[in-house]
Amino acid sequence: MNDTSINLIINHSLNNLIHREIGCFTDELISAERYYVLIDDSFKSSFNQLINYIEAQELNVSNASDLKMTVSNKDVLIIVTAINDNGSIKEAARSFKERGARVIAITKGWSTQYDDYIHERVGVSIHNEGDLSDNEVTEAFEMVLESIQRSVLDRLDGLTNVL
């Protein structure tokens, strides 16, 4: 796949994102006091700037103590994943929501098995996904994540500069 094709895929994917979704996602971050993140290892580098900017605590779903900490309605769990049927993520989302925390997500696609526990989601639809290899889909999702990260950081920086 050449750069032009990749850019076309990214542009189509980003066009599928509704501007409001990124705004709502950012609003959730603005209203929170503490941040927790569950992110696929393969996407950490694509989202690391935001994680560091908000000083989010990275959680490990296989570590039970990570899911039993005290959380409140001023906390937000951020899920970033391309895997939409992960039971561990579902349990983490359920646990955080039931204890009053907000749960927001960036997912590949629009439907997950933990939809009932998500307050806000940016669902990324990869244009012509069926025609792409798994590596190409992953690469496109990573690039969309980087773009979402830039948009959210720009919004957060803009608010910081105004205040």
CB-based contacts of 138, cutoff 8 Å, min separation 6: 42, 82
Cβ(23)–Cβ(152) under 8 Å?
no
The pTM for the full model equals: 0.82
pLDDT digits (tens, 9 = 90+) for 70-124: 899 999 999 998 887 778 888 889 999 999 999 999 998 888 888 899 999 888 8
Which of 46, 6, 33 minimizes the C-alpha distance to 152?
A: 46
In the chain, where the domains are located = 3-162
pLDDT digits (tens, 9 = 90+) for 116-153: 999 998 888 888 888 999 899 889 999 989 989 998 99
Separation of alpha carbons 74 and 35, rounded Å:
9
34-39, strands of its sheet edge to edge:
57-58, 34-39, 75-81, 102-108, 120-124
Is 3-162 in CATH node 3.90.1150.10? no
Q: Would you tell me the crossing angle of helices 134-162 and 19-31 to the nearest 10 degrees?
A: 60
